[in-house]
Structure 1
Amino acid sequence: MRLLFFAVLFIALKPVLFAQTTDPLLTPDANEQLKWVDSIYASMTLDEKIGQLFMVQAFSNKGLRHENIISQMVTNNHIGGIIFSKGDPVNQARFNNELQDVAKVPLLVGMDAEWGLSMRLDSTYAFPWNMTLGAIKDNQLVAKAGYHIGEHCKRLGVHFNFAPDIDINTNPKNPIIGNRSFGEDRENVTEKAAVFMQGMHDAGILSSAKHFPGHGDTDTDSHKALPTIDFDLKRIDSIEMYPYKRLIKEGVSSVMVAHLNVPALEPENGLPTSLSKHVITDILKDQLGFKGLIFTDALNMKGVADFDSPGAIDLAAFQAGNDILLISEDVPKAIDKIREAYNAGDITEERLAHSVKKILKAKYKVELNKYIPVDLDNLISDLNRPEDDVLYEKLMENAITVVKNKGDVLPIRNLETKKIAYVKLGDDDGTDFLKGLQKYGKVHEVIGDNLDEVIEKLKAYNTVIIGFHRSNDTPWKSFEFSDKELVWLYEIARTNTVILDVFVRPYALLDVKTLENVESLVVSYQNSPKAQDASAQVIFGAVQAQGNLPVSIGNGFVVGNGITLSSLSRLGYTTPERVGMSSEKLHKIDAVAQRAVDEKMTPGIQLLVARKGKVIYNKNFGKHTYDTDSEPVKFNDIYDVASLTKILATLPLLMELEEKGIVSLDTKLSKILPEYTNSNKKDITLKQMLSHYARLSPWIPFYFATLDSNKLPDPKYYRKEYGGKFTVKVANELYMRADYQDSMQKIIRESDLLKTLRYRYSDLPYYILKKYLEKYYEKGLDELVQDHFYQSLGANHTTYNPNTKFSDINIVPSEMDDYYRYQKVQGYVHDMGAAMQGGVGGHAGIFSNANDVAKIMQTYLQKGFYGGKRYFKSVTLDKFNTCFYCDKDNRRGIGFDKPQLGESGPTCGCVSMTSFGHSGFTGTYAWADPEEEIVYVFLANRTYPNAGANTLLKENIRTDIQALIYEAIID
């Protein structure tokens, strides 16, 4: 009967005979390798040979007693390898070096590092799980994951990574595989496993395909009991064993045999596959032609340990055809059993040599013939590199899968019409997701003690983003929705437009009985901070969505589903190396910014650098003021950006009108404002005055004339209370006569021109343009910029008069005014002329944070396109970014400042001549360089507590930082 069984099995598997034609353990210098192997083998005693068969589990966090036990095992039992488990990398490297030092033959070191060393060690890198990688279309990214993990292993002195897991997870209830599998589709699993394996090989690390013959379709954990795979030969051959054929053919280093009960492959009832000669020798070695190393799965697992006594199990495993006995329960007893069997003739010298020489070949292949101890210097940093962050981000961005997108809700467009709420479900943190969403638009977290309360609050919103967050610590953590959460999800989706984003394995959605009322469904796979941030970028169109489901999730969504979403060209957020910058070199900026704070050039700073559409540096320094109890600067704090207002507010409105043909650069003042017809300024063109080449006075101190003889606000012009003519709020409890604004315009109109035509910076053009723009649109400048730009850009922290919208805790104060308003200036514009216009000036008055300023500068850099919307034509940007009077020693563009023409000027002197930007009196600075695709934003309140000497400018802080940015470019 047994012969008949294996005859049928042979026929079923015959098409894959002799798939592996070469030995995966051989090196290019095979002759030298085999000489070394034979020499070592010949020098060994019997016990030393038997010892090579054992790979013992070691920990780097169990202290000296444990280390002594393992060390004695290496010395006394001559074990051939170590599989390291929990601990930390520095202690493991030290312990490893000590063990190698006492080993007669260098030890083969293995680890379970399926998604990186962090599977076992703290302070090491965690790459995405296989299920996440299974969603990626670009297999070269998966190969890079294998390569990076291989590099980490090699750096730590690990030679064998027990990966990839090639189980095809066709059972959603599988308790032990799940996220460790690339998915349920055999082709996808095989492709991903093959390239992942090759990546490790390219890094010089040996691979291990597991868990043979296939652990994907079981609901039992073999750590706790013996699972049964109860399928026929045809099914097992076509599904479970399918990836092994390809990987064996392509040179997988080893195969790990699982503890499974597979009646179709082993007729003896209850015999684990790891102890089955028929499974290991007849099928894996003979029929599949595998020539590499064969490992048992851990022999202390209940799936095999309960089968027989310690020692007897090891002997049975070796006799079945395994080469390496992993984590034996009792190594001395197992050695005794194998020695007894050898002496009794049950194990031949040929059989022993077959496995031991394979082990020695593997040791030679990983260069243990010229063993070098692990270098402990810089170990932690070498295992946590910037390039690993770059890869992780790419992997997550490519994995995130949009499964449903009814009505093209995603990516979110038309921010000016959106009122967005975020509701968190699950028991893990979603802070990074919420922060990521809030970088793009007004997103408010809605919380409540009960469903009715939440539903009522959500009536104020037209879009609801639900994030489902469960622990990302290990792939075995619980991932299901609770019954309460399922009810909440159903009810919220029934009454709202919902985007559901799940940061868990896709199987969580099997419990959601209906997704009909969910407009958009996103699977983000993991709840790591980078996964949350990447998903927020997908939702708002900063990056594409391009993943496919690696498994089926019910509700009609099957493996392979995935909707590709294009980018809307919004700012993304990434690591410097991803856009050709050096993190290490950018870090030098910190010292310069901190020096500015420490030496009291400014109380605080917001700093942002973006390149190629990605924010790569965004940090805060100092506090709102020099007071010890002052608020530290936060990302959402807003600064008075002073003259940046010119290019953030007035200029884009004028560019719109020029593009529409309402005005041209040659339009004269008398044309746009008839009251200038009889003025000495009637023939000044927009081009001239915006290039600061129009003989206009640099500045008129309008407020001087409104002070009394004691230099206090004259009651003729000011009141403490609002009412009557006194409606222009200048500061707290200070209202100016509304008609004085006409007087300011009259003063400008009647002012003298400078005697000499030369470059002379002036605020006056922006007083004039404010008057024109508000007259043309019959709307205030503050409303215009919100309607035309800020709302649709998602510049939600950019506004005039922030005190009407934001708390003082988020508004950085500008000055302790002791010459005009005589109070702390916070939430009111610092510039006196702008204050006299109710805080809304064409030249000053805008408050913003670095992130919002960067959005506007990026719009300019992208020639007027941002967030899926074209604000300007490319030709318009080029026109306004032209220096028309360079030959007159005037560097200015139309509204934009430009790089210096000589030695001194507004930049570091290292930017391109096509770059542009502006600076502000309060210490602010924004610059964009089209050639290097760099945006640089520096916000400060150097005027607090008083404007005084501009040390920030004298010490070249802003331009020194700009120089460091350019020094950090590495491509």
Structure 2
Amino acid sequence: MRNYLFILFGLFCLIAVAQKGEEKHLLLPVGSSLQKASLATYELDSIAIYSKTDSIITNGIKKEAFPGAQILVAKEGNIIFHNAYGFHTYDSIQPVALDDVYDLASVTKILGPLPAIMKLVEEGKLNLDVPFSTYWKPWKRKKDKATITLREILAHQAGLEPYIVFLSKTLKNNGRFKKRFIRRTPNKRFSNKAFDGIYVKNRFHRKMYRMINRSDVSSEKKYKYSGLSFLIFPELITQLTGTPYAEYMQENFYKPLGMKTFGFLPSTKNFSNNIVPTELDTIYRHTLTQGWVHDENASLLGGISGNAGLFGTAQDLAIIMQMYVQGGLFNGKRYLQENTVKEFTRVQYPENDNRRGLGFDKPYLDNDQFTLANAYPAPQVSASSFGHSGFTGTFVWADPEHQLVYIFLSNRVYPTRENRNIYDLNIRPAIQQVFYKAFDNVLQHTP
């Protein structure tokens, strides 16, 4: 009986200690799923954080950097800040909600083809250091591309052209569609829906591939951002896995991770979530773009691509970015090997003044030496951190050293892509820096 009482007393003490610890600092075991916690959990000054963040966002909306935005910050797997601001458009009718779905633009690159490529490297189906032409056969016949490696391509060190405007091949001089490429109604040869009333020829992707295959390559090996290879990665992934790219990503990553709204072509799904609009397109769609990918190249591929096309909520993004922070582990399941994540997220060619990882963006080299105005992203992110930005106004960043995930979602291209105030005002790094400074203040005042 005495032993039994002793055990009960011990359990009572453990519970009391755990509850007391929760009030001060909630820590989740590595591999656990995302939880919610307050700023006070980490002894952060919530009044200062909300005040500074609100000020930056309010100024952004006032200067029309975007009509609305959303911020999510997670620390050690705990969502400590998730707030929405403004409206979908400047008419102030539809307020931004925490479960809104956004067009992620180029963030697709690190959350679409890249995890698949990482997995295929682990499985020995891809090698980073053999010629990419080993897998993409047309490049074998191209003298300037035959020896380029996948490592060089992913680090933007291959000298590939930055971008090709494939849309120009589909338009006449008067701006109307060439019927051999695009039709207003679908049929067997035109079943790739790019938008309401826009159907792309099923074989148009082959024309795109041919143009990429024939594109120029710079003889100088230095950092030069290019999204061209990300247009062909989905086809390569399909060939190597025997499963269509979008289906492969759902089966191997998004669905098991619990990413409920994440994927391509949200307008074809029955989500109750609102989809934030992007641009009032005056060239291609001639109306407001909403629920269909903004990027024209991805659109001409039927909305499923590797350079753009993914849509999702901040919560979904937090899940997969947390998986990266935890070295490929999430909620007890391993999706990628830790060494693979480390290899892809390290700087590949620092000797060439190239900050990039493999697919992932990285901070400027010696970023901590710069002021906020000149740094990328925030000056206090660690050298091991990584992420990517999107043309539509999205931004995701993960910092394993600080166990931080930062997500900024907006539709800065509304009503036009010519609006660059989000960059001129340095909004995304400024908010990111607010949180790093807040954690610094806690450390400075800790005995």
> Does residue 854 of structure 1 match 2:318?
yes
Q: What is the aligned partner in structure 1 of residue 4 from structure 2?
A: none
Gaps of 5+ in 1: 1-133, 146-389, 395-541, 544-565
Question: 1:136: how far off?
Answer: 7.5
Length, aligned pairs only: 423
Q: What is the aligned partner in structure 1 of residue 417 from structure 2?
A: 947
- Distance 1:807-1:873 versus aligned 2 partners, 3 A rule: closer
Question: 1:598: how far off?
Answer: 2.6
After TM superposition, list the pairs within 5 Å mapping 1:429-448 onto structure 2: none
CA distance in 2: counterparts of 1:853 and 1:643, whole angstroms = 13
> Does residue 139 of structure 1 match 2:19?
no
Q: What is the aligned partner in structure 1 of residue 363 from structure 2?
A: 899
CA distance in 2: counterparts of 1:785 and 1:794, whole angstroms = 12
Question: 1:597: how far off?
Answer: 1.9
- Distance 1:135-1:642 versus aligned 2 partners, 3 A rule: farther
> Does residue 966 of structure 1 match 2:400?
no
Question: 1:931: how far off?
Answer: 1.1
Contact 1:713 1:821 (C-alpha < 8 Å) held by counterparts: no
Q: What is the aligned partner in structure 1 of residue 378 from structure 2?
A: 908
Q: What is the aligned partner in structure 2 of residue 634 from structure 1?
A: 97
After TM superposition, list the pairs within 5 Å mapping 1:585-600 onto structure 2: 585-587=48-50, 588-600=52-64
- Distance 1:720-1:817 versus aligned 2 partners, 3 A rule: same
- Distance 1:632-1:886 versus aligned 2 partners, 3 A rule: same
The amino acid across from 2:342 in the alignment is D
Q: What is the aligned partner in structure 2 of residue 672 from structure 1?
A: 135
Question: 1:808: how far off?
Answer: 8.1
Question: 1:641: how far off?
Answer: 0.6
CA distance in 1: counterparts of 2:429 and 2:190, whole angstroms = 43
CA distance in 2: counterparts of 1:896 and 1:614, whole angstroms = 23
The amino acid across from 2:398 in the alignment is A
> Does residue 870 of structure 1 match 2:334?
yes
Q: What is the aligned partner in structure 2 of residue 838 from structure 1?
A: 302
Q: What is the aligned partner in structure 1 of residue 401 from structure 2?
A: 931
Contact 2:105 2:309 (C-alpha < 8 Å) held by counterparts: yes
Q: Which of 42, 58, 62 is equivalent to 1:579? A: 42
The amino acid across from 1:732 in the alignment is D
CA distance in 2: counterparts of 1:647 and 1:786, whole angstroms = 15
Q: CA RMSD in A?
A: 2.1
- Distance 1:748-1:580 versus aligned 2 partners, 3 A rule: farther
- Distance 1:875-1:627 versus aligned 2 partners, 3 A rule: same
Question: 1:586: how far off?
Answer: 2.1
CA distance in 2: counterparts of 1:822 and 1:668, whole angstroms = 42
Q: Which of 16, 23, 26 is equivalent to 1:391? A: 23
- Distance 1:616-1:715 versus aligned 2 partners, 3 A rule: same
Question: 1:949: how far off?
Answer: 2.8
> Does residue 801 of structure 1 match 2:265?
yes
Q: Which of 643, 649, 657 is equivalent to 2:112? A: 649
String of CA shifts for 1:199-229, please: whole Å, max 9, x gaps.
Answer: xxxxxxxxxxxxxxxxxxxxxxxxxxxxxxx
CA distance in 2: counterparts of 1:714 and 1:580, whole angstroms = 61
Question: 1:141: how far off?
Answer: 5.4
SS state of the match for residue 356, structure 2?
A: coil
String of CA shifts for 1:25-50, please: whole Å, max 9, x gaps.
Answer: xxxxxxxxxxxxxxxxxxxxxxxxxx
Question: 1:921: how far off?
Answer: 0.4
String of CA shifts for 1:37-92, please: whole Å, max 9, x gaps.
Answer: xxxxxxxxxxxxxxxxxxxxxxxxxxxxxxxxxxxxxxxxxxxxxxxxxxxxxxxx
> Does residue 688 of structure 1 match 2:152?
yes
Contact 2:261 2:271 (C-alpha < 8 Å) held by counterparts: no
SS state of the match for residue 676, structure 1?
A: helix
String of CA shifts for 1:715-750, please: whole Å, max 9, x gaps.
Answer: 221111110311111111110111111000000001
CA distance in 1: counterparts of 2:346 and 2:43, whole angstroms = 28
The amino acid across from 1:651 in the alignment is L
SS state of the match for residue 912, structure 1?
A: coil
After TM superposition, list the pairs within 5 Å mapping 1:522-561 onto structure 2: none
Question: 1:913: how far off?
Answer: 0.5
Gaps of 5+ in 2: 1-10
CA distance in 1: counterparts of 2:24 and 2:376, whole angstroms = 38
CA distance in 2: counterparts of 1:710 and 1:580, whole angstroms = 61
Q: What is the aligned partner in structure 1 of residue 197 from structure 2?
A: 733
Deviates more, 1:677-686 or 1:824-833: 677-686
Question: 1:670: how far off?
Answer: 1.1
The amino acid across from 1:790 in the alignment is Y
- Distance 1:135-1:602 versus aligned 2 partners, 3 A rule: farther
Question: 1:966: how far off?
Answer: 0.5
The amino acid across from 1:908 in the alignment is A
Contact 1:707 1:714 (C-alpha < 8 Å) held by counterparts: yes
CA distance in 1: counterparts of 2:349 and 2:324, whole angstroms = 21
String of CA shifts for 1:785-823, please: whole Å, max 9, x gaps.
Answer: 111100011111211000011458611111111111212
Question: 1:759: how far off?
Answer: 0.7
Q: What is the aligned partner in structure 2 of residue 621 from structure 1?
A: 85
Q: Which of 763, 776, 779 is equivalent to 2:240? A: 776
SS state of the match for residue 175, structure 2?
A: coil
SS state of the match for residue 616, structure 1?
A: strand
Contact 1:636 1:797 (C-alpha < 8 Å) held by counterparts: no
CA distance in 1: counterparts of 2:233 and 2:316, whole angstroms = 23
The amino acid across from 1:641 in the alignment is L
Q: What is the aligned partner in structure 2 of residue 179 from structure 1?
A: none
Larger Rg: 1
Contact 1:579 1:612 (C-alpha < 8 Å) held by counterparts: no
Q: What is the aligned partner in structure 2 of residue 237 from structure 1?
A: none
CA distance in 1: counterparts of 2:192 and 2:335, whole angstroms = 32
SS state of the match for residue 138, structure 1?
A: helix
> Does residue 660 of structure 1 match 2:123?
yes
Contact 1:642 1:845 (C-alpha < 8 Å) held by counterparts: yes
String of CA shifts for 1:698-726, please: whole Å, max 9, x gaps.
Answer: 00000111101112222221111110311
Question: 1:923: how far off?
Answer: 0.7
- Distance 1:648-1:780 versus aligned 2 partners, 3 A rule: same
CA distance in 2: counterparts of 1:806 and 1:941, whole angstroms = 22
Q: Which of 693, 703, 708 is equivalent to 2:172? A: 708
Identity of aligned residues (%): 36
Contact 1:808 1:827 (C-alpha < 8 Å) held by counterparts: no
> Does residue 890 of structure 1 match 2:360?
no
Deviates more, 1:611-620 or 1:904-913: 904-913
The amino acid across from 1:140 in the alignment is V
TM-score by length of 2: 0.90
CA distance in 1: counterparts of 2:408 and 2:220, whole angstroms = 34
CA distance in 1: counterparts of 2:214 and 2:43, whole angstroms = 53
Contact 1:603 1:942 (C-alpha < 8 Å) held by counterparts: yes
The amino acid across from 2:57 in the alignment is A
CA distance in 2: counterparts of 1:573 and 1:136, whole angstroms = 25
Q: Which of 33, 45, 53 is equivalent to 1:570? A: 33
Contact 1:861 1:930 (C-alpha < 8 Å) held by counterparts: yes
CA distance in 1: counterparts of 2:79 and 2:216, whole angstroms = 46
- Distance 1:576-1:669 versus aligned 2 partners, 3 A rule: same
Q: What is the aligned partner in structure 2 of residue 790 from structure 1?
A: 254
The amino acid across from 1:957 in the alignment is I
Q: What is the aligned partner in structure 1 of residue 5 from structure 2?
A: none
Contact 1:728 1:837 (C-alpha < 8 Å) held by counterparts: yes
The amino acid across from 2:378 in the alignment is C
Question: 1:767: how far off?
Answer: 1.3
Contact 1:393 1:574 (C-alpha < 8 Å) held by counterparts: no
Question: 1:879: how far off?
Answer: 0.6
The amino acid across from 2:136 in the alignment is L
Q: What is the aligned partner in structure 2 of residue 58 from structure 1?
A: none
